[in-house]
Amino acid sequence: MRQQLQSSEALAVSDGNRENAPKGMSHSPKEIVKTGRIWKRSSRDRASTIATVCDTLANSYPATRLGNPHDPLADLIYITVSNRTTPDQAVAAYKQLRSSIRKWDDLLTVSRRSVEKTLRPAGLNSIKAAFLLGIARSLKARFGRVTLRPLSRMTDAQRLEFLTSLPGVSDKVARCVMMYCFNSPVLPVDVHVHRLARRLGWTSRKRADQSHDELEALVPRDKRMRFHIDAILHGRAVCASSNPRCSECVLRPYCHYGRGR
Ligand code: SF4
């Protein structure tokens, strides 16, 4: 785990929360930092509120995926292309990339310039092209071909460590690939998930990439994927960064921020 937590802030995690840790990713007591006000409530009340919020969101949004490919490398490339762009632009650039190469091993021989050109609709194309070519070279060096399939034989901890060792792959991106393609019980925290969790009082951490462990300790394993997806959809549709539509929000009864508006 790349993020370092301050031991002075760390609080012991209950047995129930320890059970929430993905296989091979057991949290020691020092690794969980409880910053959300929800931790002040009883464990029963907390679990009930979290389950209600997750179920309320799941009943509000029908999507079970957000268009992510099922193949892990295709998903990693799709997420890399999607970074800091709109869903439509990401899909356009990804489709263009897929149609420009026959198989992912071709990333070893294609010119960086041509990949940059292909990714232009998504923006940041020069950086994204460098990441993709770097990922391809790393996979070739490790597995002999450009694939992530061998990760199916790894534990969750090994997958996270390997994925985050690849060029441009953050904890969030690694967790997305693990969740979508290996059914790992992780909770990727992007800006939408983080904003919603902060407003609900589940974390007070300022950065999304600092919130993975705390939110994974709160949200049960079997609800993490739906919560991730639904929080993104809710963030786009209702809980926007500026002017959230609290008066029409189904989560208002459970939302510290929304009840105060
Ligand atoms: S009540 Fe407002 S701040 Fe809270 S989740 Fe809903 S839209 Fe977001």
Judge if the beta carbon of residue 258 lies within 6 A of ligand 1.
yes
Q: What is the pTM of this model?
A: 0.85
The percent of residues in the chain predicted with pLDDT above 90, rounded, is: 77
Provide the Cα torsion 72, 78, 83, 88; round to 10°.
-150
Asked whether 206 and 166 are in contact (CB, 8 A), the reply is no
Helix (H, G, I), strand (E, B) or coil at 105: helix
pLDDT category at 131 given cuts 50, 70, 90 is very high
Question: Where does 101-183 have alpha helices with state H?
Answer: 112-118, 125-143, 156-164, 171-182
Residue owning tokens 């002075």:
8
**Nearest residue (CA) to ligand 1, atom 4:** 258
Mutational pocket test of ligand 1: of 196, 250, 254, the residue with most ligand atoms within 8 Å of the beta carbon: 196
Specify the pLDDT at position 24.
52
Q: Given pLDDT bands bounded at 50, 70 and 90, which one contains residue 27?
A: very low
Instruction: Sketch out the chain's domains with CATH numbers.
Output: 10-64+186-259 (1.10.1670.10), 72-182 (1.10.340.30)
| 257 within ligand 1 shell (Cβ under 6 A) | yes
Count CA within 13 A, CB hemisphere, residue 204. Answer: 10
What is the predicted pLDDT for the residue at 9?
26
Which of 175, 159, 165 has the alpha carbon at shortest distance from 141?
165
Pocket of ligand 1 contains residue 238 by CB under 6 Å: yes
49-98: per-residue pLDDT in tens?
A: 999 999 999 999 987 777 789 999 999 999 999 988 888 899 999 999 99
Question: Which of 106-110, 121-125, 164-168, 182-186 shows the lowest mean pLDDT across its residues?
Answer: 121-125
